[in-house]
Structure 1
Amino acid sequence: MNTSQLMRAVRITGHGGPEVLELAEVAVPAPEAGEVLVRVGAVALNNTDLWTREGAYGRPGDPGAKSGWRGPIGFPRIQGADVAGRVVAVGTGVEHSLVGRRVVVDPAIYDSEGPDANPVGLMGSERDGGYAEYVTAPAERVHDVTGSPLTDDQLASLPTAYGTALGMIERGRLRKGETALVSGASGGVGLALVQLARARGATVLAISSGPKIDAVREAGAHAVIDRAGDIAEQTRAAAPDGIDVALDVVAGELVGEGLPLLREGGRWVIAGALGGYDVTFDVRRLYLHNAQVIGSAMHTPTHFGLLMDLARRADVQPVIAAAFPLEQAARAQEELSRREHVGKIVMHP
C-alpha cells in the first residue's frame, strides 16, 4: 500500500481531561526494518488509557509527578495499547507471507530479548498506539490468530486486560484445584482473571458489587463476595480453609484485611491500585506463614504466547460492553471512567 496516505488518529496533546484528546489527520506510519503495518480492525480501551492521559502514574520518589506508564511521554501521542487487525505491509527483513494475516499485537515494549523479559514501555504511551486506522509494530510482537473464532472486538480485548491477568496468574503460580480470590472482578482485568482462573481449574471467589454480581458469576466465579459487606467475613465463610492466591487490582485497605486469609505459603499478587497505593499490613502475617506479596506489571513474551494459544482455541470469551467509532474516543473514555459497564469497551477506526 502507499504509505504516503493520511489516516485518522486520536492523540493526546498533553496530560489532562478528555479535552486533550484530538482527532487528527496524520501520515500513515511506514513500517521500519523488522516492523509490520497493521490496519486496525478494533482497539480496546483500558484504565491505562485514562491514567496515561491524566499522567497519573507518578515516578519513583515522586508519587505525585505527572507521568506516562513508565515516565515522561512525548506529545502528541496516539493512544491505544490493544489492537486486533490485519497486516497490510511489512518492512525490510520481515516475511512477506504475514501480509493479509489476522493478528493481535503484543503492546509491551520489553527490557531485553528473552522469553521472560519485563515490560518497560507500552504501545499508546511510550510509542504510538491503535487509536488510529493503522499502527506499526515489531514483527516479533504480532501474533497470527487468523484461524481464531473470536471476533476482532474480542481479540482486541485480550492484550492488556487478559495479558495482565495471565501475568498475575503465572507469577502467582496458580494451579488447578487451588482457591483464588479476585478483587475488582467486574473490571477488564478482574473479569479476565475470573475467566482465566476458572479455565485453569481453580475455585474462584470474586469480589464485586450490586448489579454486576450476576455478570461476574456468569463469567465463571464459584462464589461472589459483595464489596459492600464485610469482605474478610464473607471470604472466610466461602473458603474456610483459606485462599491460595489473591489476584488483586484494588490494593488499598484490602491488602491488610486480606493477608490473614491466605493459607500457609499463600501468594498475594498485586497489579493495580484502584483502592489506593498507600498500603498497611501486619508483617507478621507475611513471614510467620511463608506468604508472599508479588508485584505484577502486565506479562512476559512467554505469558503472551500462552494467551494467544487460548485465543486461537477460543478458550476464553471476552465480553464486549460497548463499541464506539474512533471520533467518539472522549465519550468512550468517559464511559470507561464511570465503571458502570461489565466487559470491554472497544472502538472501530
Structure 2
Amino acid sequence: MKAIVTTGNGGYDKLEWREVPLPDVGIGDVLIRVTAAGVNNTEINTRLGWYSSSVRDATSDTSDIQTRSDGGWNAATPFPFIQGTDCCGEIVMAGSAVDQGRIGERVIVRSCMRPNGFEQPDNIWLGSDFDGAFAQYVAVPATEAFAVQCDWTDAELASIPCAYGTAENMVERAGVRQGMTVLVPGASGGVGSAIIQLVKRRGAKAIAITSREKITDIRNLGADLVLTRDDDLLATLGEGKADVVIDNVGGAGFPNMLKVLKRGGRYATSGAIAGPIVELDMRDMYLKDITLIGCTGWDAAVFPNLISYIEAGEIRPLVAATYPLQDIVQAQKDFSAKSHVGKFVLIPPQ
C-alpha cells in the first residue's frame, strides 16, 4: 500500500510518500481501508518534537527543530512510522476473534485508546504511538472501530475523532450543563469549533474568541458572543463572568482566563498552541476556588456520545478543504497558516 511515512523530527522533508507493507491484523483487530484522514496539530507537533519539555514556544514556531527523545505524545516517538490520528474508512478484514459480519461497515476510529481500561489513566493514540491513518489501510483493535449510520461524507466523518473527541472530553469533565456560560478561546480550529457546538447542544451559552476575519463563521456555528483576539477581554466581559473556560490556546492570554472565571469556576485544557509556558497567579486560582482540569485520555462516555450526536443530527463538522494524501505537505502548510475555519482532510488513493 501507499503511505506517508514520518522518518524523524524535522521539517516537511521528513514526510515521505512511499510503498509500505500492509499492516498485520491480529486476532482481535480489523483492517480498515482508509477513505479519509483528518489533519491535526498533533501530527505537526510530533514531527517537530514540540511535546518535549525543552520546547517553550508556540506550536507554529519551527526555528529550533532537532531530534528530541521526549518529543512525542507519550515521550518517545516510534520513528519511522505512519501518522494520522483521524480515520474514516471501511472494514475489509477482521481477525479470527472478531465478528466477520463487521466486514463492510463504514467506521470511524477512536483516536485515544485506553489499553488498561477506563479506570486507569494510561492511553495510547492512533498515529502517535502506533501506525495511523495517513495510508491506504490501517489496522486497529476492533473495539476501537465504531460503525456510524449517517448521510455524511467520509471527509466530514474523518474530521470528528480527534477534534470532537478532545472537545467532548473537556466539556464532559468540566461539567458543562444548561444555563452555564463557557468561554472558548481559539474558536475557529477543529477543537474550538467542536466545543462551540457541543456546549450549545447542552444548553450552555458560548462566548468565542477568534480572529476578526472569522467572526461571521463562528457566529454561524452558534456562538452567542464572538470576541476578537484584539479585544480587551476583561474590559469587554468583566471579571467573574464565565462558569467554565475551555482553552487550547494558553500562552500570554492565560492569566486573564482565570480572572474571567466565576468563583468556583473550572478551567479545562488539552493544548497550548500559543505557548506551553504560562504565568499563573496562584491567588487567582485558590482565592476563587478554581479547578484546573488537564485533559488527554478520553473517558468511556466520550466516543459513544459522539456517535449518538452524529446519528441524531445534533452536530455537523466544518470541512475547510480536502487534499490528496500525497499532498500532505501543502495541507500542513495551509493548516499552519491558521487562515481556515474547521478541518483539513486528506483523501488516500482508492
The TM-score by the shorter chain falls in which range?
over 0.9
Q: Match for residue 341 of structure 1?
A: 340
Q: Which amino acid aligns with 1:56?
A: W
Q: Which sits farther off after the overlay, 324-333 or 302-311?
A: 302-311
Asked whether 1:99 is paired with 2:103, we answer: yes
Deviations 1:12-38 (A, max 9, x none): 111111111000111111311100001
Deviations 1:64-119 (A, max 9, x none): 745111111222211101001110000120011110011010122325223x5545
Distance 1:43 1:277 in 2: 27
Post-superposition shift, 1:300?
A: 2.2
Asked whether 1:297 is paired with 2:301, we answer: no
Asked whether 1:178 is paired with 2:158, we answer: no
Match of 2:134 among 131, 135, 149: 131
Match of 1:75 among 75, 79, 89: 79
* Long gaps (5+) in structure 2: 57-67
Using the aligned pairs only, state the percent identity: 38
Does the Cα contact within 8 Å between 1:163 and 1:298 map onto a contact in 2?
A: no
Post-superposition shift, 1:192?
A: 0.7
- Counterparts in 2 of 1:208-287, with a 5 A limit? 208-236=210-238, 242-287=241-286
Does the Cα contact within 8 Å between 1:11 and 1:77 map onto a contact in 2?
A: yes
Q: Which amino acid aligns with 1:201?
A: G
Q: Match for residue 16 of structure 1?
A: 10
Q: Secondary structure at the match of 1:82?
A: coil
Distance 2:138 2:302 in 1: 23
> For this pair of structures, how many residues does the alignment match?
336
TM-score (norm 1): 0.92
- Counterparts in 2 of 1:137-152, with a 5 A limit? 137-145=140-148, 147-152=149-154
TM-score (norm 2): 0.92
Does the Cα contact within 8 Å between 1:118 and 1:299 map onto a contact in 2?
A: no
Q: Which amino acid aligns with 1:83?
A: C
Q: Which sits farther off after the overlay, 206-215 or 283-292?
A: 283-292
Q: Secondary structure at the match of 2:262?
A: strand
Distance 1:310 1:20 in 2: 37
Does the Cα contact within 8 Å between 1:118 and 1:300 map onto a contact in 2?
A: no
- Counterparts in 2 of 1:199-210, with a 5 A limit? 199-210=201-212
Q: Match for residue 114 of structure 2?
A: 110
Distance 1:12 1:164 in 2: 23
Post-superposition shift, 1:63?
A: 4.9
Q: Which amino acid aligns with 1:208?
A: T
Deviations 1:163-205 (A, max 9, x none): 0100110111111110000010011111111111111111000
Post-superposition shift, 1:252?
A: 1.9
Q: Which amino acid aligns with 2:127?
A: G
